[in-house]
Amino acid sequence: MTDTKKRTNYLFILFRISFVIVGVVLAIIWASQEQRWRKLTQIGPLAFIFSLIIFIIAQILIAFRWRLLLKSQMISIPFLSAVRLHFLGLFYNNCMPGSVGGDLIRAWYVTKHTDKKFEAALSVFVDRIVGLFSTFVIAVFFYLVFLQGKSLGISSREDSGLFDSIYRHRMLIIGLAGIIMLVIAGLMLYKKSRIKLKNAFFKISKRVLEAIIKLKTAIILYCKKPLILFSAFGLTIFIQLMTITGFWFIGLSLGIEANIKYYYVFFTLTWVLGAIPVSIGGAVVVEGMLIILFTTYAGVNKDAALALALSQRFIWLLSSLPGAVIHLVGAHLPKDFSIDYQEPIA
């Protein structure tokens, strides 16, 4: 790895850590006002434990989905090994600030134990795409079926709409856009800045092109086995609905009266946004968006919305701890992998 690439990775890690720290500090300040954090003590322990168990079961099912995609490419991995690798990846995604994410961890260990390295790595990419796509589908479906043409907010405020909010802050948005354009124009005046911007543009373009090529290859490979894709998609829908229902029980224990349909739309939307790698495990982004959506559009009390968002984060962190144990004891090592086989599944 070149010095420039190392420096870029360090800066990216520093940015992610700084983003989370700033967000946490602001959240603590906000939660301290009117002692909003006290709502956390009202979470029903049974509801929390039930939601935690549901989330852990969901992660095991996700490992099964990934193994299904691997088997479609004639790559055989024991189920328990797939589960261990998935929890290891979950730990890296939710807890580790480094530039190596959980998907890369899974891809690394799979490709070291099969001759079909490309197909194995591609299965991780396809697994993530299936997860994100199905999550987005759930959000769109429940919005179109239950919320389209209706006022999202229980509140009677006329200015609670997203477009109204954008219109009211149009001058601020225009000003920020102008500042960004001025900064870019200023950077273009200097040769070193122009070179860095050019290199950044080419790197981004290269990454996008690589992603498009991978997606095209995945479509070609997996379209030959549509039953596998439909099975993975259907399983993911079930997993997402089951997980969100668990969080709905926590909401009930907090006295949140919002219909469960809001949960299906808001949670899935925030999960998609949380996949953008600007923080660690979507921290701050997911919580902030959940609070905004529930308070603005579902009329939920800010204290309860904060407690609900933090409950989800606590469950994510607790469920990630087995990944740390797996890493420490070396249970992710290749001794449990089996060899590939010749006949693909249907």
pTM (whole model) above 0.75? no
Integer Cα distance of 320 and 87 in angstroms: 6
Rg (CA), the chain: 22
Please report the pLDDT score of residue 249 as a whole number: 95
Question: CB of 122 within 8 A of CB of 259?
Answer: no
Please report the pLDDT score of residue 56 as a whole number: 96
What b-and-e string marks burial along 125-141, b requiring 16 or more CB atoms within 10 Å of the CB? Answer: bbbbbbbeebbeebbee
- Of 73, 37, 2, the C-alpha closest to 343 is 73
Please report the pLDDT score of residue 65 as a whole number: 92
Q: Which residue has the tokens 């693909």?
A: 344
**Is 310 in a helix, a strand, or coil?**
helix
Please report the pLDDT score of residue 329 as a whole number: 80
**pLDDT tens digits, residue range 208-256?**
787 677 667 767 777 777 888 888 889 999 999 999 999 999 999 999 9
- Indicate the DSSP class of residue 345: P
Q: Which residue has the tokens 């509140």?
A: 155
Please report the pLDDT score of residue 188 as a whole number: 63
Please work out, in degrees rounded to the nearest 5, the angle formed at the alpha carbon of residue 132 by the alpha carbons of 165 and 86.
130
Residues 6 or more apart whose CB falls under 8 angstroms from that of 256 comprise: 294, 300, 301, 304, 305, 308
**pLDDT tens digits, residue range 268-306?**
999 988 877 777 777 888 988 999 999 998 889 888 998
Please report the pLDDT score of residue 5 as a whole number: 58
Integer Cα distance of 346 and 341 in angstroms: 14
In the predicted model, residues of the chain with pLDDT beneath 50 are 99, 152-162, 336-346
